[in-house]
Amino acid sequence: MLFAAAASSSAWAYQAGWRATGLYEAIVAADCSDCEEELGIIIACKGNGLPAEVTVNAAASQSGQDGAEAPVTFTIDGEDFTRTARTVEYGLIGFTPVFSLPPDDPIVEALQGGSRAFVSFNGARAKLGLKGSREALDIFKAHCGWTEAGFLQNQARAAAQAASAPPAPAPVGDAGASQTATGKPIATAIYRCEGNKGIDATYYPDSVELTLTDGRSLALPQVISGSGARYANADESFVFWNKGDTAFITEGSDENITFKDCAAIQ
């Protein structure tokens, strides 16, 4: 089955280089894992078979105009690929190119098959790592419906979910309030954390249900993340992060870590 790997985890990690995180139309591919500000490029699925959104942090510059259009050029093994990007100002990162990437864009094949890559934008030039890009982008293409099999499976999954009776809405309020997960579970995990705390997690295609040792139970939708799988409530006052076999929870506007150093025990 195309997505059989999803049965063991909600994220696929590589020791170094590119990785794909998330599932189905919430999948994201990036050029490194757990790299914080060193993250160079993020490719985010925007729908089954649709063009992805590419954010190139590595090419960010300290000058520019938010919303302006400008060319961004990828040089991969000596071949140039120039696309029109929208300039987005991301705080300390700077003025960053963001552009749409169709499934058949030659950049995709070049990123997968290349050995050296550079990106240029607004006078800035940076190197992009390509280690693991073939495997990560193959996973991305399957889950985002860029392959025929992946597209059809996403359609079947959406039809099955639409045929299910909708659950009663959960109350909206504090961080403990949540929506009810739909669909069949794809994975489960039990995490043990610092301070004898614990998290029981049940993963769904685009959400997670959590049971915490402090007595709370909640469900969270998956949201886009450049590193790891991230699930959050509407105002992101409660965020659950899953990175491979580890996890942690942040709460409040100050992102206080309330469940830390959590490791899967099964």
Question: Kindly report the CA angle at 132 between 206 and 248, in degrees rounded to 5?
Answer: 45
Report the C-alpha gap between 126 and 110 in whole angstroms: 17
Task: Residue 31: name the closest of 17, 21, 49, 45 by CA.
Answer: 17
Q: What is the CATH number of the domain that holds 235?
A: 2.40.128.200
> Residues near 175 by Cβ (< 8 Å), separated by ≥ 6?
218, 233, 237, 238, 251
Last residue of a domain, one of 139, 158, 177: 158
Q: State whether 226 and 140 are in the same domain.
A: no
Q: State whether 93 and 196 are in the same domain.
A: no
Q: State whether 103 and 204 are in the same domain.
A: no
Q: What is the CATH number of the domain that holds 58?
A: 2.60.40
Does residue 92 lie in a domain region? yes
Q: State whether 98 and 228 are in the same domain.
A: no
Q: State whether 36 and 108 are in the same domain.
A: yes
Q: What is the pLDDT of residue 250?
A: 92
Does residue 180 lie in a domain region? no
Question: What residues does 125 pair with on adjacent strands?
Answer: 120
The whole-number mean pLDDT for each consecutive block of 10 residues of the chain, a chain of 266 residues, reads: 36 58 84 69 92 92 87 95 92 88 95 94 89 92 91 82 55 45 76 90 88 89 72 89 88 89 84
* The pairing of beta strand 117-121 with beta strand 124-128: antiparallel
Does residue 57 lie in a domain region? yes
Token pair recorded at residue 82: 């120039």
Token pair recorded at residue 259: 């469940």
Q: State whether 154 and 199 are in the same domain.
A: no
Which class for 224: exposed (0-12), middle (13-18), buried (19 or more C-beta within 10 A)?
Answer: middle
Q: What is the pLDDT of residue 188?
A: 86
Task: Tell me the one-letter amino acid at 145.
Answer: G
* The pairing of beta strand 28-30 with beta strand 42-44: antiparallel
Q: What is the pLDDT of residue 92?
A: 78
Residue-number span of the structural domain to which 241 is assigned: 187-264
Task: Residue 190: name the closest of 200, 182, 203, 176 by CA.
Answer: 200
Does residue 37 lie in a domain region? yes
Last residue of a domain, one of 114, 138, 158: 158
Report the C-alpha gap between 266 and 263 in whole angstroms: 9
Q: State whether 149 and 201 are in the same domain.
A: no
> Residues near 198 by Cβ (< 8 Å), separated by ≥ 6?
190, 191, 192, 212, 213, 262
Between the alpha carbon of residue 220 and those of residues 2, 44, 206, 223, the distances in Å are: 25, 19, 9, 9
Q: State whether 153 and 197 are in the same domain.
A: no
Report the C-alpha gap between 67 and 25 in whole angstroms: 26
Total of domains in the chain: 2
Task: Residue 236: name the closest of 250, 215, 218, 224 by CA.
Answer: 250
Q: State whether 202 and 135 are in the same domain.
A: no
Does residue 23 lie in a domain region? yes
Residue 98 phi/psi, 5-degree rounding, is -130, 130
Does residue 56 lie in a domain region? yes
Does residue 127 lie in a domain region? yes
Task: Tell me the one-letter amino acid at 149.
Answer: A
Q: Where are the alpha helices (DSSP H) in the chain?
A: 106-113, 133-143, 148-163
3-state SS of 200-253 is EEEEECCEEEEEECCCCEEEEEEECCCCCEEEECCCCCEEEEEECCEEEEEECC
Q: What is the pLDDT of residue 52?
A: 94
Question: Can you tell me whether residue 44 is helix, strand or coil?
Answer: strand
Q: State whether 13 and 134 are in the same domain.
A: yes
Q: State whether 14 and 143 are in the same domain.
A: yes
Does residue 175 lie in a domain region? no
Q: State whether 151 and 83 are in the same domain.
A: yes
Write down the pTM of the prediction.
Answer: 0.59
